[in-house]
Amino acid sequence: MSTVAPRRAGVLGSPVRHSLSPVLHNAAYAALGLDGWHYDAHEVDDKALPGFVRTLGDEWVGLSVTMPGKRVALEVAEEATPRAVAVGAANTLSRLPTGGWRADCTDVDGVVGALRAAGGFRPGDGRTAVVLGAGGTAAAAVAGFQELGLVDVHLVVREPARAQATAGAARRAGLDVTVHRWAETDLAALTSTAAVLVNTVPPDAVAPHVDALAAVPCVLDVIYHPWPTPLAEAVTARRSRVATGLDMLLHQAFGQVEQFTGLPAPREVMRDALREATGNILPLPLE
Positions marked catalytic: 70
Helix (H, G, I), strand (E, B), or coil: what is residue 150? coil
| Phi and psi based region of residue 149 (left: phi greater than 0; alpha: psi -120 to 50; beta: remaining) | left
Sequence-separated (6 or more) residues with CB below 8 Å from residue 32:
261, 263, 266
Angle at 27 between CA 105 and CA 140, to 5 degrees: 15
Q: How far apart, in Å, are the Cα atoms of 144 and each of 20, 104, 155, 161?
A: 23, 13, 15, 23
Residue 65: how many other CB atoms lie within 10 Å? 27
Question: How far is residue 279 CA from its own chain's centroid?
Answer: 21
Question: Strand pairing partners for 65?
Answer: 12
Torsion sign, CA atoms 60, 63, 69, 72: positive
Between helix 107-118 and helix 245-261 the angle, nearest 10°, is 130
Helix (H, G, I), strand (E, B), or coil: what is residue 270? helix
Separation of alpha carbons 38 and 179, rounded Å:
43
